[in-house]
Amino acid sequence: MAAMMVAGITSSADEPEWRFVVVGDSPGDPAGDTGISPDLATIAQAIANERPVPDFVLFPGDLISDENVPGTSPSLDQQYQNWKQAMAPIYDAGIPVYPVRGNHETLTETFGFPSNDPQPYLDAFAEFAYIPSNGPTNATMLTYSFQHKNCLVLALDLYVNSVPEANGNIFPEVDQNWVNQQLATNQLPHVFAFGHTPIVQVSMNSVIDTDGTVAMADAFFDSLANAGCKAYFCGHDHFYNRSFLERNGKRLCQMVTGGGGALPEFWNPGSYSSAYTNSDISAQLGFHNQTKFGYCVVTVSSDRSLSSVMKFLDTPTNTAVTAADAFDFNTFRCATAGMSSLLTIPAAPAVESAAASSKTTAQGTYTDPVKGVEKKTKKEILKAGSPPSAFPYQWSGKIALYNKKQWDVTKTAEQNLEEHPIGPVLCDMVVNVGGTPGAPETIAYLPPSITQTVNVNSNQEVDLPLSPGQTIILNGFYFGAKPPRAWLEYSKNGKIASLMLQADKNLDYPDAQGHPGKSCMDLTTGQSSIKLTVPKAWPQGWIDQENHNIVIDNGFGVATMNFSEQPTSTPPE
């Protein structure tokens, strides 16, 4: 493997902009041939292709299956070798990888039963001398911290102090004393932490301090939030999920980055819960995707601001990626709030305090994604939102992220999107009240995304095939305030034809003025949902056995999903 630049502290207070990547959960079929996901190598190559080159990669556990079926799957040592080989594009690019164990790394040669022996893991990573040995005495190279430029990173093995129960359960635990010691001596402006399981449960029911009181989870949250930590990265759930955690007025971003190749899991957006009944840590959904593999890129800017963007693989077979969920850690605001016909434009405090009767306008500049030239948005008068603290002003302009004239009519939307990916467009917007301009705001325009199709009667994933007249619920993000155009694709005379779907007029969310049932998108989070009804009869030439992708177009961009590719529901571990 190539020589690599190891993360380390520097003395400059104002560092040039730099990046790191977070990705986790890459086990394969326990009875498979390798113990790792066949898609991990593609994900690793996509990360290695990132420009600028990331300074390091964090991997929050569940590297391998680690469930050895004698005579069927390889030994644990071989599985770790297979994992490092799949990650070779990252290592060969000189990018250090910092892993921690997940629950799969606690399992033994006997299928499914944890021994919690860390030695196979330690043997596998002994060659990487850059992994620090500064953890607790019983967790050398398992739990550790490192400083890089203007950042402190805590890497937490949540299982080293756990004792497997007779039924095979093993619960994650935090060594809070060690965490407190690291934070007490830190003088760097940025703090990040990563471990395998979430603080607040998303899908699977194994979270920090599952088997006890709320004390461990609360103490861990408080220590990070009080130290100015902006994000806790984890996995365990096999999808991407960003949420806001809040307790006693303190906030922390929980980012589940479990899209490293493991079989995707089903989650009903919005159903955060807790394994403990008395916890007062609340969770609010920011963004969710359970259909694509991908990784999170975090940028630390020279002005000390922090932001992230999620990169989803367009298909598991190539390294093309689509950016989504641009997020600002400093304001805890999703920079992708612009994915509706009503965009949230925060103004400077001085502007917000201007008289309500003052004329409020906005105009922005952006680079046209089709022609590649800089343009100005149309200058428009803005409407005050409701409540003002959440929606200072509303922008009604639109930017086309793609040119459908470039599409091949003989190909599906999925195929056309592979050839003509829709990427984000950054628009620099300024709100002007009574002639007083506010501070410039950068908004990222992103296409919609589909996370789930649900049977309206059973609230379960849609059964195949669809029936004429059937009504389904489409969940996702950034559909827009008004229902997007939606259709099913089918073959007709050698071309891809569209069977339009009827959107229900009863919507789930209030509009910018607070009128209920007037928007199919939550204007604070981007979470979206619409009911769609299939026509009562199939058109001539319809073939049930074909794949009929569902496609939506919200006026900005396009999203598509093949029903046959939906993740299946996975029972909790």
How do strand 294-300 and strand 18-22 relate by DSSP bridges? antiparallel
pLDDT value of residue 397: 66
Higher pLDDT, 452 or 348: 452
Task: Lowest mean pLDDT of 75-79, 107-111, 314-318, name the range.
Answer: 107-111
**Which tokens hold the place of 396?**
């009604």
Asked if the peptide bond before residue 387 counts as cis, ω within 30 degrees of 0, the response is: yes
Q: Round to whole Å and give the CA distance between 287 and 526.
A: 7
CA distance 158 to 178: 12
**185, 198, 211: which is closest to 156 by C-alpha?**
198
| pLDDT at position 437 over 80 | no
- The answer to whether residue 195 scores a pLDDT higher than 70 is yes
Residue with tokens 């400059």: 12
List, as one string, the DSSP characters of 215-260.
HHHHHHHHHHHHTT--EEEE-SSSSEEEEEEEETTEEEEEEEE--S
- The span from the first CA to the last CA of the chain, in angstroms, equals 36
Q: How far from the centroid of its chain's Cα atoms is residue 253's Cα?
A: 12
The mean-pLDDT minimum among 215-219, 403-407, 449-453 falls in 449-453
- Dump pLDDT digits (tens) for 291-339: 789 999 999 988 778 889 899 888 888 888 887 777 878 766 654 433 3
* Side chain identity at residue 249, one-letter code: G
pLDDT level of residue 171 (50, 70, 90 thresholds): confident
For the record, the structure tokens of 380 come out as: 């428009």
DSSP secondary structure letter of residue 178: H
- Max avg pLDDT among 33-37, 496-500, 524-528: 496-500
Lowest mean pLDDT among 116-120, 356-360, 480-484, 496-500: 356-360
Which pLDDT value is given to residue 121?
A: 95
d(CA 567, CA 285): 20
Q: Tell me the pLDDT band of 525, cut-offs 50, 70 and 90.
A: low
pLDDT at 353 over 70: no
Which of 60, 58, 53 shows the shortest CA–CA distance to 25? 60
pLDDT beyond 50 at 356: no
Cβ(512)–Cβ(386) under 8 Å?
A: yes
Which string of DSSP letters, residue by residue, matches 15-57? PPPEEEEE----B--TTSSSSB-TTHHHHHHHHHT-SSPPS-E
- If you average pLDDT over residues 175-201, what whole number do you get? 95
Q: What percent of the chain has pLDDT over 90?
A: 36
**Is 59 within 8 Å of 90 (Cβ atoms)?**
no
Longest Cα pair distance anywhere in the chain, in angstroms?
77
Is pLDDT above 70 for 529?
Answer: yes
Cβ–Cβ < 8 Å for 342, 428: no
Contact in structure between 225 and 184 (CB atoms under 8 Å): no
pLDDT of 564 strictly over 50: no
Q: Which long-range contacts (CB under 8 A, 24 or more apart) does 107-110 make?
A: 107/66, 107/67, 107/68, 108/68, 109/68, 109/70, 109/75, 109/76, 110/68
Amino acid 10: pLDDT: 41
Average pLDDT score over residue span 119-126: 95
pLDDT at res. 339: 33
pLDDT for residue 42 is more than 90: yes
Dihedral sign (CA 212, 218, 224, 229): positive
> What average pLDDT does this structure show over 4-29?
72
The answer to whether the beta carbons of residues 451 and 431 sit under 8 Å apart is no
**Residue 52, preceding peptide bond in cis (omega within 30° of 0):** yes
Tell me if the pTM is above 0.75: no
Q: Please give the average per-residue pLDDT across 371-387, as a whole number.
A: 74
174 vs 14, residue with greater confidence: 174
Token pair of 80, please? 């770790």
Q: Span 517-529, mean pLDDT?
A: 80
**Cβ atoms of 312 and 276 closer than 8 Å:** no
The answer to whether 59 and 98 have CB atoms below 8 angstroms apart is yes
In the predicted model, what is the mean pLDDT of residues 447-472?
A: 77
Three-class DSSP category at 396: coil
**11-25, 455-469, 473-487, 555-569: which range is least confident on average?**
555-569
Residue 373 has pLDDT above 80, yes or no: yes
Structure tokens at 429: 């917007």
Stated length of the chain: 573
Write the single-letter amino acid at 207: V
Alpha carbon separation from 59 to 11, 154, 470 (Å, rounded)? 26, 12, 42
Residue 1 DSSP code: -
How confident is the model over 131-159, as a mean pLDDT? 96
- Cα–Cα dist 122/101, whole Å: 10
* The Cα angle at residue 309 between residues 25 and 49, in degrees rounded to 5: 70
How far apart (Å, rounded) are the C-alpha atoms in residues 441 and 192? Answer: 25
Tell me the average pLDDT across 557-566: 69
Kindly tell me the burial class for residue 218, based on how many C-beta atoms sit within 10 Å of its own C-beta (0-12, 13-18, 19 or more).
Answer: buried
Nearest Cα to 391, choosing from 346, 434, 332, 353?
346
Percent of the chain at pLDDT > 70 equals 77
Residue 563 — pLDDT band, cuts 50, 70, 90? low
The whole-angstrom separation of Cα 60 and Cα 316 is 21
Highest mean pLDDT among 171-175, 367-371, 436-440, 454-458: 171-175
Give the integer Cα–Cα distance in Å for 532 and 511.
Answer: 20
What is the average per-residue pLDDT within 128-150?
96
From 175, 118, 179, 176, select the one nearest 153 (Cα to Cα).
179
**Concatenated DSSP letters for 438-456?**
---EEEEE---EEEEEEET
- SS3 sequence of 517-538: CCECECCCCCEEEEEEECCCCC
The full set of domains in the chain, from first to last, is 18-334 (3.60.21.10), 343-445 (no CATH), 449-565 (2.60.40)
Q: Is the peptide bond preceding residue 465 cis, with omega within 30 degrees of 0?
A: yes
Mean pLDDT over residues 545-569, rounded?
Answer: 72
Backbone angles phi, psi at 256, to 5 degrees: -85, 110
Burial of 155 (0-12, 13-18, 19+ CB in 10 A): buried
Cβ pair 15, 150 in contact under 8 A: yes
Average pLDDT, the chain: 80
- 302 neighbors 14 (Cβ within 8 angstroms): yes
